[in-house]
Structure 1
Amino acid sequence: MIKLMLPDENGQVYNYQTSEPKFYPKPTSPLKSRVVYSAAHVVCDPFIDNSPMEEAAIDWEGTLNYRRYLWSLGLGVAEAMDTAQRGMGLGWNNTRELITRSLQEAKSVRGGIACGAGTDQLQNISRITLSQVKEAYLEQCEFIEKYEGQVILMASRALAACATSPDDYYDVYSDILKQVKKPVILHWLGEAFDPSLSGYWGYKNLNSAMEVCLNVIRDNKEKVDGIKISLLDAQREIEMRRILPKGVKMYTGDDFNYPELIQGDETGYSHALLGIFDAIAPAASTAIQALDRGNKQEYRAILDSTLPLSRHIFQAPTYYYKTGIVFLAYLNGHQKHFRMLGGLESARSVPHLAKLFVLADQAGLLMDPEFAVYRMNSFLNLAGVSNSV
């Protein structure tokens, strides 16, 4: 156990002593009781000039190394998603290279992977037409499928900007689903993650919006593997899960309530496609291993212990959760620096990240506490916080 000085939310410095790390064993066989994807972050290259207004500079080896780490834990990778800073530093040019590299790497290690397709190559979305939205979606879907990847059909800011009715959403999605080669995963991303997606599916009322989404799925179910919803509303997810067409999976994107949703109830359960599984990957893997053995008590004990950390990382403004994800990767030595695309490392305060350190420690997710303390102290020194005990 190691002592260090940490600032609280009022800027007052206090003594903290780390806990013993937990042991999270790697799986010896594929995870089987649930389909589990971790939405993976990207590692930026801090030695290349990287203006927030320019194309992102990516450390490709660091980025791929992190994906190899996730695969070694038995997790699938959800590539080029919100966690990878789509629309917040990662543009379509680098997204194409990220998808290509990750699909090739996944094939070499036989790792699970699915890739996000959106419309972020479109500029000036205030003047975009529905036809342009369809073309942009299809361009990205075709690119992913050309390299034999599975598509995650992401929510579109451009579609939200130009759609004038629920029928516009239905028509765009139905047209795309008719043209993809393999079943896709739909993604309903709530406005907590992206305020520009308010009123998605043509309604602010979630009951009405859900019905539009369900109609798309029902009428194209042979082209829908599942749907990921990220509304941070557990009851909404359960309700939708219960009325999905047979064979269509629910993937939870609820970073506040994932233990209960993945465990499920008497009517079914959710699979996982989660940004928090980037940060808590060892615990997520071990929990699903316990579920594979039928040990629900161990499963819940592990994942429940990570909830305070997840709820802290994803607190409002939720779209800045990526900062916490990358900071924990830095503390655990998965990257050499705490820098992000577009300078997003500054999106959370020093006290916020200090509390993240504590919650990660309490969940046993500082894999080498001595190393994590060294990095935390380095960060705090730069922030003007003394680390003398």
Structure 2
Amino acid sequence: MSASLRLPTEDGWTEVVLREPRAWPRHPRPHRSRVAFAAAHVVADPLADNSPGAPAVLDWDATLEFRRVLFGYGFGVAEAMDTAQRGMGLDWAAVRELVRRSAEVARDHGARIASGAGTDHRAEVGSTAEVLAAYEEQVGFVESTGSQVIVMASRHLARIARGPEDYREVYGAVLRQVAEPVVLHWLGEAFDPLLAGYWGAADLPAATEVFLDLVREHAAKVDGVKVSLLSAEHERALRAALPAGVRLYTGDDFHYPELIRGDGEHHSDALLGAFSAVAPAASAALTALDEGDLATYDAEMGATLALSRHVFGAPTFHYKTGIAFTAWLSGHQPGFSMVGGMQSARGVPHLARIFALANEARLLPDPELAAHRMRLLLETSGAAS
């Protein structure tokens, strides 16, 4: 393949030669050596009014088919998380339908699914009791679908909590009631600025101690913790301090290859939005890890890192645009449209760089289709050369 495409950069233009697509092997059963969830995005219905503030309307066929793709590479799906635009356009009515439908697809595939439960369906809360009631409603719904529960961070609790004791009260009550062990999600302010000071402390070591105390007290109800702080050093220290049997699901989209590989004593499992963008290559890496082939693991997973770091570049909370754009380039959705009109959250040079990096990693199943769609974007944005 010798076709090429001129792409804009922040400094001018560059010529990108389209690479031959790679035949990535499918892996229809979960990987053995690590538990790996891909946090999946949602596909907006391009014919609906998905403008800012409007109720979310999804393209259900494309949304669910993308989950089948992820299951086919051996991943579980982390559903209705921030990757699916929780807190950025995906309302509770759409969340309920999404979790219900995705849980059915997971059962059909014998695949694992875990879904976010938070407090975002309440417009306002004024007390920790009301935060708890909101959590109980969402946790109960997720459990009713057969999905594992991911207890998401609460903007409401971050706003009204007076200190660590309020977090202990609310989370302790939730954990005493859950039917099966859950995943606790610590989402850092890089992903959501409204969660600054979570666990009642602005100081990271102090917040970590509050978090660890909670996990230790309720270890029997905690399958694992999902940490999205983008600090490999902090993650290594935290996973070494967790009680036996409690997993650390890395949410570090900048350092996941080394964290999943481990240091010989401890390793991280995975719950990553990045895996939605690099699923074929990440699956190949985990297959090699299952076989003890560390050199192939390092090569396969390492080749995904430049794309992930770019997609999750500052402001990190707009990474969802890159995930949806990659899916569009790859033919997994008919258009580049997002709930809340969020397709406009990244500029053309940023998106062009995504194309170049996905092409370099041979993650574009049909490079000609991807190039055609990239040209359409350049033309409609006024950036065609």
TM-score bracket for this pair, using the shorter chain length: over 0.9
Residue 70 in 1 paired to residue 77 in 2?
A: no
Q: Find the counterpart in structure 2 of residue 14 from structure 1.
A: 14
Report if aligned partners of 1:154, 1:188 keep a CA contact under 8 Å in 2.
yes
Task: Report whether the alignment pairs 1:204 with 2:198.
Answer: no
Could you tell me which residue of structure 1 aligns to residue 384 of structure 2?
386
1:109 shift after superposition: 1.5
After superposition, residues 310-329 of structure 1 pair within 5 angstroms as: 310-329=308-327
Of 242, 245, 255, 2:243 maps to: 245
How far apart are 1:77 and its partner, in Å? 0.3
The residue number in structure 2 matching 1:183 is 181
Q: 1:181 and 1:27 mapped to 2: Cα distance?
A: 30
- CA shift for structure 1 position 160: 0.1
Structure 1 residues 51 and 24: alpha-carbon distance in aligned structure 2, compared to 1, 3 A threshold: same
Aligned 8 A contact 1:119 1:133 in 2: yes
Q: Secondary structure at the match of 2:123?
A: coil
How far off its partner does 1:4 sit? 1.3
Deviations 1:246-297 (A, max 9, x none): 0000100000000000000122100000000000010111110000000011
2:161 aligned residue: 163
Cα deviation 1:42-77 (Å, max 9, x = unaligned): 000011122311211111111001001110111100
1:42 alignment counterpart? 42
CA distance in 2, matches of 1:326, 1:30: 24
**8 Å CA contact 2:36, 2:269 repeated in 1:** yes
CA contact (8 A) 1:8 1:355 kept: yes
Note the C-alpha offset of 1:147.
Answer: 1.7
Secondary structure of 1:4's aligned partner: strand
* Deviation larger for 44-53 or 353-362: 44-53
Q: 1:331 corresponds to which letter in structure 2? A: L
Aligned partners of 1:203 and 1:209 also within 8 Å = yes
Contact 2:28 2:73 in 1 (8 A): no
Structure 1 distance, partners of 2:17, 2:152, is: 42
Contact 1:170 1:216 in 2 (8 A): yes
**How far is 1:369 from its partner?**
1.0
Aligned-residue sequence identity (percent) comes to 53
Contact preservation (8 Å) 1:290, 1:296: yes
1:124 offset after TM fit, Å?
A: 3.4
The structural deviation recorded for 1:29 is 4.4
Amino acid at match of 1:180: V
Q: Which amino acid aligns with 1:49?
A: D
What does the per-residue CA deviation read over 1:219-248, in whole Å, with 9 as the maximum and x for residues that have no partner? 001100000100000010000000100000
Q: Distance in 2 between matches of 1:240 and 1:190?
A: 15
- Give the aligned partner of residue 5 of structure 2: 4
How far apart are 1:28 and its partner, in Å?
5.8
Paired with 2:28 and 2:346, the residues of 1 have a C-alpha distance of 37
Q: Deviations over 1:5-24 (max 9, x none)?
A: 111113x2332212233332
Q: Classify the secondary structure of the residue corresponding to 1:185.
A: strand
Question: Which amino acid is the alignment partner of residue 171 of structure 1?
Answer: E
Q: How many residues are matched?
A: 384
Aligned counterpart for 2:269 among listed residues 268, 271, 274: 271
**Alignment-derived partner of residue 344 in structure 1:** 342
2:384 alignment partner, SS class: coil
SS of the aligned residue for 1:5 comes to strand
Q: How far off is 1:385 after superposition?
A: 2.5
The alignment's TM-score, normalised by the length of structure 1, stands at: 0.97
1:226–1:250 contact (8 Å) kept in structure 2: yes
Match of 2:351 in 1: 353
Task: Give 4+ residue runs of structure 1 displaced > 3 Å after superposition.
Answer: none
Deviation at 1:161, TM superposition (A): 0.4
Letter in 2 for 1:9: E
Shift of 1:383: 1.2
Secondary structure of the structure 2 residue equivalent to 1:89: coil
Deviations 1:133-176 (A, max 9, x none): 10011100000111221100011101000101111111110010
Q: Deviations over 1:68-121 (max 9, x none)?
A: 111011110000000000010101111011001111111112111000001001
Residue of structure 2 in register with 1:141 after alignment:
139
Residue equivalent to 1:309: 307
Q: Note the aligned Cα RMSD (angstroms).
A: 1.1
Q: Give 2:111's aligned residue.
A: 111
Instruction: Report the Cα distance in structure 1 between the residues aligned to 2:111 and 2:105, rounded to whole angstroms.
Output: 8
Contact 2:187 2:229 in 1 (8 A): yes
Gaps of 5+ in 1: none
Does structure 1 conserve the Cα–Cα contact (< 8 Å) formed by 2:247 and 2:269? yes
CA contact (8 A) 1:2 1:369 kept: no
TM-score, normalized by length of structure 2?
Answer: 0.98
How far apart, in 2, do the equivalents of 1:210 and 1:228 lie? 13
Letter in 1 for 2:100: T
- Distance, in Å, in 2 between the alignment partners of 1:14 and 1:274 is 31
Q: Who is 1:262 aligned against? A: 260
CA contact (8 A) 1:251 1:271 kept: yes
Which stretch shifts more, 139-148 or 13-22?
13-22
Deviations 1:299-337 (A, max 9, x none): 110111111111100001000000000000000000000
Local SS of the residue matching 1:32:
coil
Gaps of 5+ in 2: none
Could you say which residue in structure 2 is the equivalent of 1:150?
A: 148
Contact 1:37 1:78 (8 Å CA) reproduced: yes
